Amino acid sequence: GIQVEQSPPDLILQEGANSTLRCNFSDSVNNLQWFHQNPWGQLINLFYIPSGTKQNGRLSATTVATERYSLLYISSSQTTDSGVYFCAVGLIRDDKIIFGKGTRLHILP
Amino acid sequence: DTAVSQTPKYLVTQMGNDKSIKCEQNLGHDTMYWYKQDSKKFLKIMFSYNNKELIINETVPNRFSPKSPDKAHLNLHINSLELGDSAVYFCASGADLNSPLHFGNGTRLTVT
């Protein structure tokens, strides 16, 4: 089956720092989403981005489908950005949406 | 007004019992899902329904039976609960199979 790999697995940063999270996938996809799971366990959809670039405030994402990766950029980190960031992909040949194992981000005040 | 709501939020029960988790979405979406999140935070798809029809059954034990009475509801019934069923169960919905997912707040199931 498809492999969805996220890196780094863990990241600790000081408030105000910038970060880049990466998602690599092993098959062609027509659906790619980024989620933030906050410390209370809620899963928030950040971006639906099967290709191209999108920005939402301090967050932006880029997916290069032909090279099978996506990047999530977080600028000027705040403590509320802490949590787990998941990449999820849907295959062209399938109806499943598969999640990566996540990047655990901890922002220090 | 909550978009995807799950009940109960917490469920503590003993091995061998049968329990249900309910999910409702008021977004008018056609597709609904159940995901299981284990203690390592890994999210695994269990079931997917599109227009009340089962699309995906991801090799889940047949003790787990989803039921979709209408497009807005997808309930999960679990028979003969086992210790390994302890996890957080998330319901989600999407407009269709290629749309953004919207998650409920999860149900933390603890089997003792």
Q: Is A31 on the interface with B (CB under 8 A)?
A: yes
Query: How many angstroms separate the CA atoms of A63 and A21, rounded?
Result: 12
Is the pLDDT score of A68 beyond 90?
Answer: yes
Give me the DSSP letters along chain B: --SEEEE-SEEEE-TT--EEEEEEE-S--SEEEEEEE-TT--EEEEEEEETTEEEEE-S--TTEEEEEEETTEEEEEE-S--GGG-EEEEEEEESSTTS--EE---EEEEE-
Q: State the average pLDDT over residues B50-60.
A: 86
Q: Tell me what pLDDT residue A95 has.
A: 77
Name the residue among B43, B97, B105 with its Cβ closest to that of A95.
B97
The rounded percent of chain A whose pLDDT value lies above 70 is 99
Closest residue, chain A, to B103 (C-alpha): A43
Q: Tell me what pLDDT residue A15 has.
A: 98
pLDDT tens string A2-56? 899 999 999 999 999 999 999 999 988 889 999 999 999 999 999 999 999 999 9
Q: Choose among B5, B94, B18: nearest CA to A33.
A: B94
